[in-house]
Amino acid sequence: MDIANPSEEHLMLREMVRDFVKEHVEPQALEYDRDEKFNVDLFRSLGEMGLLGITASEEHGGAGLDAIAATIVHEELSASDPGFALAYLAHSMLFVNNLEFNGNEEQRARILPKVCSGEWIGAMAMSEPDAGTDVLGLSSTATQNPDGSWKLNGRKMWITNGCIDDDGTPADIVWVYAKTGIDEKGRAQISTFLVEKGMQGYSVGQKIIDKTGMRASNTAELVFEDCIIPKSNLVGEVGDSMSHMMRNLEIERLTLAAMSLGIARRSLDEMNRYATDREAFGKQIRDFGQMQRYIGESWAKYRAMRAYIYDTANNIGLGNSGQRLDSDGVKLFATTAAKEIADAAMQVMGGYGYVAEYVVERLWRDSKLLEIGGGTIESHQKNITRDLSKAPDAVNR
């Protein structure tokens, strides 16, 4: 059994996405990375393929597929264009999957068809200029008005899909976390809101440029200045954000690990072919021990990543928590391994690996963000150590 393709349906999905990537994603990847542009038209075409709502219910326009399917799509897109894949993750996992499993029926029925089709582009806004991993340290605030609506004030930073073009057009809809008070234990009470384009006080502060990598996805600062949000756009109850985060973090981290897998696979493929094509001192460079170390160790890391990621995907449940050890574990291991494999590919390819025309230079740059976004590797180390102290038997299961 191939755990990465456990059913005929999964294999067909992989082949469909791989063909799409070869025909449509690969030809534009270098240009859109170089120009720091988000390919909006290509992105919307994913909706026509049923991929933008891959884990959303069919009732509301989604594909109704599982975590394995989501992992496959992120791997295949990232083997060509991780920046484009990151925009896909922000939409399909951080917004659509969040709404599917945390929104109410009215919210799902009204919004999911638009985001699953690609009519609307979604984002999730948590990080702030002074708060990232420290969720309870958020400074954005929302206060309720007498008519039941909410007034949101604050700034969000590093938001993927926060703007969709260079004209400052904001995301059509954003999943926003904000402080709404203090709970009975004296901790910050965080609540979740759906902010839509056109709502008073919602705007793009700036598109963030000159990023090291992931340049084919737009990153923005979002500004909420006396932003009025209707009562119906509160997700769940006041103070529910932590449960929303916990339900969605595991699939987010799994798919970020899947992005690392795509980067690793492509990097390995490029260095392996180059080691045959390039000769030095009358031999293929793959005959030299130094090259064999880079290729051999990269193969072992890649296969270990693949096994761990798809084992986790086969066991993770959408819309609930319970696999934090492994969702943290796969992201901790895979993101660093992908960076190492991309680095090895660059070393094998020498000067060719160092220039933008050859894909490994871009993969190398893109890989770094995955050690930071969606939880830093330090946060994963902390979580794993803490969880193992509570459940030491997990080691021997």
Strand partners, 206: 221
Provide the b/e sequence for 121-145 (b: ≥16 CB within 10 Å): bbbbbbbbeebbeeeeebebbbebe
Which residue do the tokens 């993969």 mark? 363
Q: How many CB atoms lie within 10 A of CB 7?
A: 11
Please state, in angstroms and rounded to a whole number, the distance separating the CA atoms of residues 222 and 127: 10
270 is known as an active-site residue? no
Question: Structure tokens of 335?
Answer: 């993101």
Torsion sign (Cα): 254, 371, 369, 270: negative
Q: Helix H segments across the chain?
A: 8-20, 26-34, 40-48, 67-78, 82-89, 98-102, 105-117, 241-277, 289-315, 324-353, 359-369, 377-390
Q: How many CB atoms lie within 10 A of CB 71?
A: 26
Nearest-5° angle of CA 141, CA 207, CA 49?
95
Which residue do the tokens 């499993």 mark? 101
Which residue do the tokens 């045959």 mark? 276
Provide the b/e sequence for 278-305 (b: ≥16 CB within 10 Å): beeeeeebbeeeebeebbeebeebbeeb
Please state, in angstroms and rounded to a whole number, the distance separating the CA atoms of residues 168 and 83: 19
Catalytic member of 100, 252, 270, 371:
252
CA Rg value for the chain: 21
Cβ pair 330, 309 in contact under 8 A: yes
Question: Structure tokens of 23?
Answer: 């025909």
Active site members: 252
